[in-house]
A and B are shown apart, each in its own frame.
Chain A
Amino acid sequence: MNELSALPQHTTQMMLHTPFHSRVVEACEINEWSAWQGYTTPSSYTNVEFEYFAIRSNTGVFDLTPMTKYRITGADAEAYLDRLLTRNIAKLAVNRVAYIVMCNDAGDVIDDGTVFRLADNEFRLCTQERVLDWMMWSAAGFDVEVIDETADVAALAIQGPTSCRVLRNMGFAGMENLKPFGMQTFEFNGARIMISRTGYTGDLGYEAWMAPEQAESFWDALFEAGKLRGIRAFGSEALDIARIEAGYLAAGVDFVPAEQIVRNGRGRSPLELGLGWLVDFNKPVFSGRKALLKQKEYGPRYRFVKLSVEGNKPAEHSFIYCRGKAVGTVTSAGWCPTAKTNVALASLEMPYGRPGDELEAEIYYMRELHWTRLMAKCTIITKPVWEPARRLQTPAPDA
């Protein structure tokens, strides 16, 4: 057998196409493409603002097939995930989804993602990075099988206030009763597809998971059903605005995945990313436990904060100052059009970011080749600037 043919497709072929590619190409009017984990994906289809407002006002559709997906099966699947992830997976019921992080032994975050409990001994783990090596190393001693199923599962995010209605129009009766972080299997075209109430936009929204053969007909039916509900495909740029508005982290942007780090000390623990709530120290063992316990006792090195930045200039890559001292940097920033707030996510050195600390962002921006520097006051905010009630309501409101 040809050895190459035995390798996963993404290791042998430059720039894969997702099963939705024929439809994506058709919709991508401006030819703005970028690479995402080896796949050709659109940064934008038409106009970033249009696409963003489709997410916030109607229904936006995003091809998330390139998201790395692992299938974990076997008698020890739950025990395996409990050692791999910081959260308590034993508490995750079948047909439920959880946001997760995984750490290395140093307690630094390797990646964040979501875990879906498909059955007692069957899970899907979605991550930003490809982390198969770490997952395989972690499998020693467990009766478990780990498969990279990225290319075998086509996935679409269907996000926005009319998303539930659009899916109901497609024939998915009872869609409104699906709770946040729940999932359900539906019949479509004689095949089974899974729909979860999850997303990365901070709004009411769903993700649909299906066999690649279903992809094109699902896309067609979806857009047909959403025609009168303002449905629109969106690319990675619009998604980025939405996720910053919702205050969600991006691996590789807001933290460097631990297994990619070259320089000592550049990793971030969950406690240093504001994700301490994902760590269950009551579990006897998980990778990173010892280091995180120590960090909990002696205090983390960094504090991750959401900032409301004065003015409307995005504080991208800005230094954050406290009384004239540089105490951190912005990892993600943007003007949030719906919340009408200038938001930044920033990593500050401890102990800065205490109540009462006066923080300023040093912002540079250019207009017609003219650079301007300004110092903008920042206020730490604890809640996302975009958090509509419908995100968590069941039944999901109609619109």
Chain B
Amino acid sequence: MTDKKYDAIIIGAGHNGLICANYLAKSGKSVLVLEANATVGGAACTREFAPGFKVSAGAQWLYQLNPTIVSDLKLIAHGLVYAAQDLDSIALNPNGQQHISIHGSHASGGDLSEQDAHQFAALQGQLLRFVRVLDRVFNRRPPKLIESDWHDKLTLARLGIDMKMLGKEDMSEMLRVGLINIYDLLNEHLDNPLLKGALSLDAVLGSHMGPRSPNTVFTYLYRLLGQHYRFNGPALLKGGMGQLADVLLHSAQHQGVEVRTNSAVITINLNADSAKSVTLGNGDTIVANSIVSNADPKTTFTKLVGLRNIEAGFSRRVQVIRMNGNAAKLHLALEGLPDFTGLNAQQTGARLLIAPDMKYVERAFNHAKYGELSPAPAMDISIPTVHDGSLAPAGKHVLSATVQYAPYALKDGWTEAQKQLAQKVAIDTIAQYAPRIKEQIRAAEYLSPADLEQQFNTHGGHWHHGEISLDQVLMMRPTPGCTQYRTPVDNLYLCGAGAHPGGGLMGLAGKNAAEEILRG
């Protein structure tokens, strides 16, 4: 038992944990952050996966980091440096030409008709107006419907007013499309299959949904939040995503936060209904007024608190949170810049999407539904070395790709043989667009959701810590009865993506949680 009692212990130094720590420390709280891994950042990390080759081993693009957090925490002053910003997304055409570039709300190239380009801009414009409404709710704790206090009533009233302010047409359209699928929505507005395919991929990335799954307009809006946060396309950080971790750590330490790595929390200890302390792998017990878990809700309650220490109804709710990851990561160390047919060297540094049409993506999902590998997966590819030479030896390159889909609960299990097969399928898929790439591969690494689970201590390897589905958002995130960053266990808070509003590298869960903890 160490003598010092902290105001808050944060379990996990993922970006949300560090952001939460920063805000708490800014308000004068004594904060200890405990990280199981050797480095901080969680899925915001840079890792050497082959000698001399480094890659953002978790999240590969920064596209929705909340700008308020960047300024509140003075992240630029603490060293946040972009290697590239506002990158295009290029929808790759299997014919090797007529690729389509998407830049914010503008699409061009290929056989895109003028009408489609115009329609796309109009659609994005409208969806961005919806996103502004959502952002107002995402920036605050989610309102409770029953037992709501004045703060919640204000949030609800503002949501109502914001909806009204959209005007009659937009409001009814938002209500109409809010729950439907991206497949129908895009078909209503656009003709070009390649453009629709790429956009539909944005709606399903990281989730267990296909373009035809209800809910995918909502996830698309969710993705668009980045554009609202002035990311006119994804960005890359100098030195990879680990830089975000370094910057947040630097800022946290500047505020007086104590951070310990290689310090896995084994249990959260309760005194009846209340969290009192944590016990580390080495047997140390550390006491705090508030225990804040940046771990996902399933890990928090099944592993750290223990299901037997919470009431049965809540235990059941935790168990049924849907959070089986369905995306894998592929990392390639390359002898040279891959030669994507129809792209110049500069364009190779854009975000490259393999999703030739919506049915392709839906078909890839079909296999995942039954626990099978997709023989033709959709992919989101990043070659950061085009913008950032620090990640590979001179003249060499790294490729990082999100492979959609790769079901966590693979029918045959994630054996080494299955991983080899999945890696081969992914590389073969890229090779259809960059035929010489196989000759350039020096090393390859494939991370299944099971690997991601193990590396980032995230149940199911789900990067959102739980599906962004309508039954698991707002006051139902992570689960009813556990909202507003609080849990049925007194003094135990959640600050990770499993809490509202979820996220990739967004940071609002950490910020909002800190505000709730400070509220007391």
User: Which residues of A line the B interface, CB within 8 A?
Assistant: 76, 79-80, 83-84, 104-106, 134, 137-138, 140-142, 284-290, 293
B273 at the interface (CB under 8 A from A): yes
Chain B residues, Cβ within 8 Å of A285: 270, 272-273, 308-311
Asked whether, in the complex, the Cβ of B273 is within 8 Å of the Cβ of A141, the reply is no
Classify chain B: how many residues form its interface, as a range. 10 to 19
Report which of A80, A287, A293 forms a contact with B313, defined as CB distance below 8 A: A287
Q: Are A137 and B273 in contact (CB under 8 A)?
A: no
Bound Cα distance A284, B272 (Å): 4
Contact of B488 among A79, A142, A290 (CB under 8 A): A290
CA–CA, A287 and B314, complex, Å: 9
- Return chain A residues, CB-CB under 8 Å to B309: 284-285
8 shortest interchain CB distances as A-B pairs: A141-B307, A105-B313, A138-B312, A141-B308, A137-B316, A287-B311, A287-B312, A105-B311
Known contacts: A105-B481, A140-B307. The answer to whether A134 contacts B312 by CB under 8 A is: yes
| B342, CB-defined interface residue at 8 Å | no
Flag if B270 contacts A104 (CB, 8 Å): no
Tell me whether A137 and B308 are in contact (CB under 8 A): no
CA distance A284 to B311 in the complex (A): 11
B271, B272, B312, B316 interface centre (most CB from chain A within 10 Å): B312
Query: Given known contacts A289-B273, A290-B273, is B308 in contact with A79 (CB within 8 Å)?
Result: yes
Q: Output the least CB separation between B488 and chain A (Å).
A: 6
Looking across the interface, which residue of chain A has its beta carbon closest to that of B481?
A: A105
CA separation between A18 and B307, bound complex, in Å? 38
In the assembled complex, which residues on chain A have CB atoms less than 8 Å from the CB atom of B310?
285
Chain A residue nearest to B301 in the complex (CB): A141
Cα separation A302 to B306 with both chains bound (whole Å): 34
B261 at interface, CB cutoff 8 A? no
Residue of A79, A80, A289 touching B311 (CB-CB under 8 A): A289
Q: Which chain A residue shows the least CB distance to B488?
A: A290
* A138–B273 touching, CB < 8 Å: no
Closest partner residue, chain B, to A141 (CB atom): B307
- Interfacial chain A residues near B319, Cβ < 8 Å: 140
Find the B residue at minimum CB distance from A134: B312
Can you name 16 A-B residue pairings with CB atoms under 8 Å?
A: A83-B312, A84-B312, A104-B313, A105-B311, A105-B488, A137-B312, A137-B316, A140-B315, A141-B307, A284-B271, A284-B272, A284-B273, A285-B272, A288-B311, A290-B311, A290-B488
Determine the distance from Cα of A76 to Cα of B308 in the docked complex, in whole angstroms: 10
Is B302 close to A, CB under 8 A?
Answer: yes
Q: Bits for B278-310, please: 1 = Cβ < 8 Å to A, else 0.
A: 000000000000000000000000100011111
**Residue of B with least CB distance to A285:** B309
Kindly provide the distance from the CB of B315 to the nearest chain A CB, expressed in whole angstroms: 6
Identity of the chain B residue whose Cβ is nearest the Cβ of A142 in the assembled complex: B308
**Which residue of the partner chain B has the closest CB to A282?**
B272
Interface contact A105-B314, CB-CB below 8 Å: yes
Given contacts A105-B488, A287-B312, 7 further A-B contacts (CB under 8 A): A76-B308, A134-B312, A138-B315, A140-B316, A141-B302, A288-B311, A289-B273
Residue of A nearest to B319 (CB): A140
Residue of B nearest to A138 (CB): B312
Bound: A83/B273 CA distance, A: 13
Spell out B's residues near A (CB within 8 Å).
270-273, 302, 306-316, 319, 481, 488
**Which residues from B are CB-within-8-Å of A83?**
308, 311-312
Closest B residue, CB atoms, query A281: B272
Q: Which of A137, A140, A141, A293 has the most CB of B within 10 A?
A: A141
On chain A, the residues within 8 Å of B272 by CB distance are: 284-285
Q: How far is the CA of A290 from the CA of B312 in the complex (A)?
A: 12
B307, closest chain A residue (CB): A141
Least distance between B297 CB and chain A CB atoms (Å) = 14
A279 to B179 alpha-carbon distance, docked (Å): 44
A125 to chain B, nearest CB (A): 14
Closest to B315 in A: A140
Report the bound CA distance from A140 to B272 in whole Å. 19
**Which residue of the partner chain A has the closest CB to B274?**
A284
Task: Give A289 to B335 CA distance when docked, in angstroms.
Answer: 63
A105, B312: Cβ atoms closer than 8 Å: yes
Cα A47 to Cα B319 in complex, Å, equals 52
- Give the distance to chain A from B228, nearest Cβ to Cβ, in Å: 38
Contacts of A79 in B (CB 8 A): 308
A284 to chain B: which residues have CB within 8 Å?
A: 270-273, 309
A269 to chain B, nearest CB (A): 14
Output the residue of B273, B308, B488 with the most chain A CB within 10 A: B308
Contacts of B307 in A (CB 8 A): 140-141
What is the bound-complex CA distance between A194 and B66, given in angstroms?
Answer: 68
Tell me whether A137 and B311 are in contact (CB under 8 A).
no
Closest B residue to A258 using CB positions: B313
Tell me the smallest distance from the CB of B317 to a CB of chain A, in Å: 9
CA distance in complex: A133, B420 (Å)? 41
B-chain residues with CB within 8 Å of residue A138 when the two chains form the complex: 312, 315
CB contacts (< 8 Å) of B308 on chain A: these are: 76, 79-80, 83, 141-142, 285
Q: A93 to B302, alpha carbons, bound, how many Å?
A: 31
Set of chain B residues within 8 Å of A287, measured between Cβ atoms:
311-313
Q: Would you give the shortest CB distance from B309 to chain A, in whole angstroms? A: 5
Min C-beta distance of A296 to chain B, whole Å: 13
Q: What residues of chain B lie closer than 8 Å to A137, measured between beta carbons? A: 312-313, 315-316
Residues in B neighbouring A80, C-beta threshold 8 A? 308
Residue of A with least CB distance to B310: A285
Residues of A within 8 A of B302 (CB): 141
For the complex, what is the distance from the CA of A105 to the CA of B318, rounded to whole Å?
13
CA distance A79 to B307 in the complex (A): 12
Closest approach, in angstroms, between the C-beta of B456 and any C-beta of chain A?
Answer: 23
Q: Which partner residue on chain A sits nearest B308 by CB separation? A: A141
Least CB separation from B271: chain A residue: A284
Chain A residues whose C-beta falls within 8 Å of the C-beta of B313 in the assembled complex: 104-106, 137, 287
Q: Do the beta carbons of B311 and A141 come within 8 Å of each other?
A: no
Q: Could you say which residues of chain A place their CB within 8 Å of the CB of B306?
A: 141
A138 to B319, CA, bound (A): 11
List of A residues within 8 angstroms of B312 by Cβ:
83-84, 104-105, 134, 137-138, 287
Q: Chain A: which residue is nearest B272 at the CB level?
A: A284
CA of A83 to CA of B311, assembled, Å? 7
Whether A141 pairs with B315 at a CB distance below 8 angstroms is: yes
Tell me which residues across on chain B come within 8 A of A290, comparing CB atoms: 273, 311, 488
